Structure 1
Amino acid sequence: MSSKPFKRILLKLSGEALMGDQTFGIDTATVTRVADEIRIAKEAGFELCLVVGGGNIFRGLAAAEQGFDRASADYMGMLATVMNALAVQNSLERLGVDTRVQSAIPMSSVCEPYIRRRAERHMEKGRIVIFAAGTGNPFFTTDTAAALRAAEMQCDALFKGTSVDGVYNADPKKDKSATRYESLGYDKVLADNLKVMDASAVALCRENDIPIVVFNIREHGNLARVLAGEGVSTIVRNQ
């Protein structure tokens, strides 16, 4: 997958990845399964931090399209990511994995505020850090937050867990003839408007030379396989 092994990884999970077969909310069994995969990756020697989306609870952009003030809707979406982060933390700690949740919107009764040096120290001590509340600013997605935190934490790669096994030239759920890329460059993603991450996130990864690995998080055991270079995925990097 890469010319150099990845050691420190930022894992981006969509909120939808926590829904399971539900249409809304958090499915406990699904969160536990995802947490177990993260545990296995950590025990394999990887340093991990996470960014979790909030689309299973509230989508700011969708609400704005229905008449909500965009900034207010985005803040509501950020709060949804905190709920998801706490759910993932709970599942990880039940499995014996030491974690910390850091929120870009300070809420000291619930979790730590985001402080880069403190997050780095947690990771040095072997803890998994879960970054919540996006960037703390409206008009930015959790994809952009993931790229930003990956750069700040000096991660070797950004792994995006989705419901498909990579990047395709068309939506594979709608177009059966869609073909999957094994690898491609940031510029092609941006030029062809491929739905990997939003453009600002891709550009930030390009500027900091952070590969983006897209894989299917819904497939049991897939995170460990992809980290080992064995699973099915697409890697986006400088070419």
Structure 2
Amino acid sequence: MAESVQEPTYKRVLLKISGEALMGPQGYGLHPPTVERIAREVKSVSDLGVEICMVIGGGNIFRGLAGSAQGMERTTADYMGMLATVMNALAMQSSLEEIGVFTRVISAIRMDEVAEPYIRRRAVRHLEKKRVCIFAAGTGNPYFTTDTAATLRANEMACEAIFKGTKVDGVYDKDPMKHADAKRYDTVTYDEVLAQHLNVMDASAIALARDNRKPIIVFSLDEPGGFRGILAGQGTYTKVQE
């Protein structure tokens, strides 16, 4: 088992988590112990020598689509959502650096006092130096979700896989929280995800991953050691691939 841990399945990955994952037991905002727990999961994988990018949603603070539904102009609402992702990225950076992991927050919207601007070659160099790169502010454009931003950055950074951390241990044919007979898939194709409307990522993100043959690993972020375990060839997850 020790040998498999020393030789992780992937050398460079992108971890996508929702903003809601940082809420912990709260109904909104940031829960510092939860942020710290996730940071330790990331450190455990970084310690294997894996190069890690992260994209964190902003739904724990503000969700553009929800704001739009309440009458706010969509573009403005989406930019507010992007700013929420920057706040989450800074919180994660603080927790990671507190435990000795060097990080860079890289924003698609220029805000030089708090984050680096997105320059692909510079970001790649950070990864090569084993710094965790946290990509914030989505793609910098309204009407695109952080799922799409995660897939875009994973392709630009030449990541070998996208890890989608959720509250359940994979992709199910229906909500396992509501249906006891829900069936979990070990593997599922991109086209099946789209055709069956499986709740993995939005359609644009899935199509972008499919076109670039980027596998998506869906796993439970609430399972201690789950992220590291999958890279060591263990654990329960669903792999979305061709």
Q: Helix, strand or coil for the counterpart of 1:48? A: strand
Aligned length: 235
CA RMSD of aligned residues (A): 0.9
Tell whether 2:168 aligns with 1:164: yes
Deviation at 1:5, TM superposition (A): 2.9
Deviation at 1:193, TM superposition (A): 1.0
Deviation at 1:92, TM superposition (A): 0.3
Tell whether 2:216 aligns with 1:200: no
- Aligned amino acid, residue 175 of structure 1: H
Question: Could you list the runs of 5+ residues in structure 1 that have no partner in the other structure?
Answer: none
- Residues 89-168 of structure 1: matches in 2 within 5 Å? 89-168=93-172
Distance in 1 between residues matched to 2:118 and 2:221, nearest whole Å: 26
Distance in 1 between residues matched to 2:230 and 2:21, nearest whole Å: 17
Distance in 2 between residues matched to 1:227 and 1:72, nearest whole Å: 39
Distance in 2 between residues matched to 1:93 and 1:46, nearest whole Å: 17
- Aligned amino acid, residue 144 of structure 1: T
Distance in 1 between residues matched to 2:231 and 2:56, nearest whole Å: 19
Could you say which residue in structure 2 is the equivalent of 1:237? 241
1:28 paired residue among 28, 32, 39: 32
Distance in 2 between residues matched to 1:35 and 1:15, nearest whole Å: 14
Could you say which residue in structure 2 is the equivalent of 1:64? 68
2:12 paired residue among 8, 11, 15: 8
- The range that moved more, 228-237 or 147-156, is 228-237
Deviation at 1:37, TM superposition (A): 0.7
Distance in 1 between residues matched to 2:44 and 2:186, nearest whole Å: 25
Could you say which residue in structure 2 is the equivalent of 1:216? 220
Deviation at 1:99, TM superposition (A): 0.4
Aligned-residue identity in percent: 61
* TM-score (structure 2 length as normaliser): 0.96
Deviation at 1:118, TM superposition (A): 0.6
Q: Helix, strand or coil for the counterpart of 1:107? A: coil
- Aligned amino acid, residue 45 of structure 2: A
- Aligned amino acid, residue 97 of structure 1: V
Deviation at 1:176, TM superposition (A): 1.5
Contact 2:139 2:149 in 1 (8 A): yes
Tell whether 2:18 aligns with 1:18: no
Deviation at 1:44, TM superposition (A): 1.0
Distance in 1 between residues matched to 2:208 and 2:233, nearest whole Å: 24
- Aligned amino acid, residue 61 of structure 2: I
Q: Deviations over 1:199-235 (max 9, x none)?
A: 0000100111110000010122111112212111100
Which ranges of 4 or more aligned residues in structure 1 deviate by more than 2 Å?
none
Distance in 1 between residues matched to 2:234 and 2:152, nearest whole Å: 27
Question: Could you list the runs of 5+ residues in structure 2 that have no partner in the other structure?
Answer: 1-7
Q: Helix, strand or coil for the counterpart of 1:158? A: strand
Q: Helix, strand or coil for the counterpart of 1:51? A: strand
Contact 2:17 2:56 in 1 (8 A): yes
Q: Deviations over 1:124-144 (max 9, x none)?
A: 111110000000000000000
